[in-house]
Amino acid sequence: MSTMGYRIRGLDPAPFQSLYGLDDDALAARHVVRCRVDGPGFPERVELRDMQPGETALLVNHEHLAVDTPYRSRHAIYVREGATQAAEFRNEIPDVLLRRRMLSLRAFKGDGMMLDADVCSGDAIEALIERMLAREDVAFLHAHSASHGCYLAVVERDD
């Protein structure tokens, strides 16, 4: 059980909604690939869940750290085609971060400079969140897949 309040949020779906329903040629012109989920390994970034076989994912390049520092970053992520509601978990770790993944957790100052980083299994993420957020100079954390490097979610204090 967490002693520090934190919040894990999925991405705002608004920037992706104009892609929903486009044909494959229109998506390709935007450097987006539509994928049919056929097994594990499709962590969704708006709803913060593993997508199920048969669902449709859009593989997009997303700037998850739009800061004017050397840490500015973008990477490929999956968004469920049709996702409309960003997930929010308070003092709870979503299954997408707990299951089958080694995670990289990165701590940033408010200006986007990295202060700390570590790797852990999903079952150890809560202790790592608490350790990193205990630092007063940490403004937010980013969770990434340690193997592929993909951005998964933002973690913030929930005061």
Q: What is the pLDDT of residues 4-29, one digit of tens each?
A: 799 999 999 999 999 999 999 999 99
Q: Is 124 left (phi over 0), alpha (psi -120 to 50) or beta?
A: alpha
User: Is residue 1's pLDDT more than 50?
Assistant: no
Q: Tell me the average pLDDT of the chain.
A: 94
Please report which confidence band the pLDDT of residue 128 belongs to, taking 50, 70 and 90 as the band edges: very high
What's the CA gap between 151 and 77, in Å, rounded?
A: 7
- The predicted model gives 99-112 an average pLDDT of 92
Q: Are residues 74 and 62 in contact, defined by beta-carbon separation less than 8 angstroms?
A: yes
- Give every CB contact of residue 151 below 8 A, 6+ residues apart in sequence: 45, 62, 64, 65, 73, 75, 77, 142, 143, 144
What's the CA gap between 57 and 55, in Å, rounded?
A: 7
In this prediction, residue 44 carries a pLDDT of 97
- The predicted model gives 133-158 an average pLDDT of 95
User: Is residue 2's pLDDT more than 70?
Assistant: no
In this prediction, residue 18 carries a pLDDT of 98
What's the CA gap between 24 and 73, in Å, rounded?
A: 26
Q: Which position has the token pair 């920037």?
A: 15
In this prediction, residue 134 carries a pLDDT of 96
